Amino acid sequence: MIENDIFKALADPTRRAIFDKLANGSMNASALRQGMTISQPAMSQHLAVLRNARLVREERQGRFVNYEVDPEGLELIAGWLAKYRAYWPARIDALKTLLKDMDP
Amino acid sequence: MSDQETDRQDKELVLEFELDAPPETVWRAISLPAFREKWLPGGDLANAEPVSTVPGEEIRYRMREEQPPFLESLVAFQIRRDLNGGTILRIVHQLTDTRQRPERTPAANSNQPALMCAA
């Protein structure tokens, strides 16, 4: 199940951090490693897991590879849905408070 | 609180809420900027101007996430009177982001930190 893959891929805090970095824009593996204490092989492994979960895709440019969040990936959509599913009830609570203070 | 929820499509959220206030009052709260700002801050919208308005019935706004990945969406607020004189507020929120591939930094092989685009 791809959903299970996504869950497992993002359960790891390092991979979550990598994914969040890539959400800002595409990057190569060495740029990704900056600011993280992680070896190159470990980074490659994490990227492979993210790729298999279809969260991240790679794009080759000659000898070099850039990584980016897969815009067709399920995680973007799932994350968006989860965020706003929690967001709207909170906004509606605020709306109810406002309505109490308004003239009918 | 959320009485009904159906994800009709993968990229759409549909929620319905029961409000005690009559539709006329709810309409002012969702359409007049000074009121709207009190429960739906402009920072959460891509544009404070509504995309479309059907007075007393429906108003739509474009939204944009404040954080990465800054996904864009379209939300419609539809109101109707319920049997008790209150209001049913229906929220139809669609993910509309049609982003193509993110722009690339020109020198991916420069071994320098990738530039981040200003939001």
Q: How far is A103 from chain B (nearest CA, A)?
A: 7
- Name the residue ranges covered by the structural domains of chain A: 2-101
- For the segment A21-71, what is each residue's pLDDT rounded down to a tens digit? 888 888 998 899 998 999 999 999 999 999 888 889 998 888 888 998 887
What pLDDT is stored for residue A29 in this prediction? Answer: 87
Q: Which of B22, B29, B95 sits opposite A98 (nearest CB)?
A: B29
Question: B2–A97: do the CB atoms touch at under 8 Å?
Answer: no
Q: How far is B112 from chain A (nearest CA, A)?
A: 7
Question: A31–B99: do the CB atoms touch at under 8 Å?
Answer: no
Question: B105–A25: do the CB atoms touch at under 8 Å?
Answer: yes
Cβ-based contacts of A75 with chain B (< 8 Å): none
User: Residue B45 burial by CB count (10 A; 0-12/13-18/19+): exposed, middle or buried?
Assistant: middle
Q: pTM of whole model > 0.95?
A: no
Report whether B103 contacts B97 (CB < 8 A): no
- For the segment B23-82, what is each residue's pLDDT rounded down to a tens digit? 999 999 999 999 999 999 999 999 999 999 999 999 999 999 887 667 889 999 999 999
Q: How far is A95 from chain B (nearest CA, A)?
A: 5
Helix (H, G, I), strand (E, B) or coil at A70: coil
Q: How far is B6 from chain A (nearest CA, A)?
A: 11
- For the segment A80-102, what is each residue's pLDDT rounded down to a tens digit? 888 899 999 999 999 999 999 99
| B95-102 contact pairs (CB < 8 A, 24+) | B95/A77, B95/A80, B95/A81, B95/B11, B95/B12, B95/B71, B96/B62, B96/B72, B97/B71, B97/B72, B97/B73, B99/A71, B100/A71, B101/A59, B101/A68, B101/A71, B102/A25, B102/A26, B102/A68, B102/A69, B102/A71
What pLDDT is stored for residue A103 in this prediction? Answer: 82
A102 to chain B: nearest residue by CA? B25
Residues A67 and A36: their CA atoms lie apart, in Å, by 16
Residue count (chain B): 119
Topology (CATH level 3) of domain A2-101: Arc Repressor Mutant, subunit A (1.10.10)
- The ipTM (two decimal places) reads 0.76
CB pairs under 8 A between A and B: 114
Q: B45, B80, B2: which is closest to B37 by C-alpha? A: B45
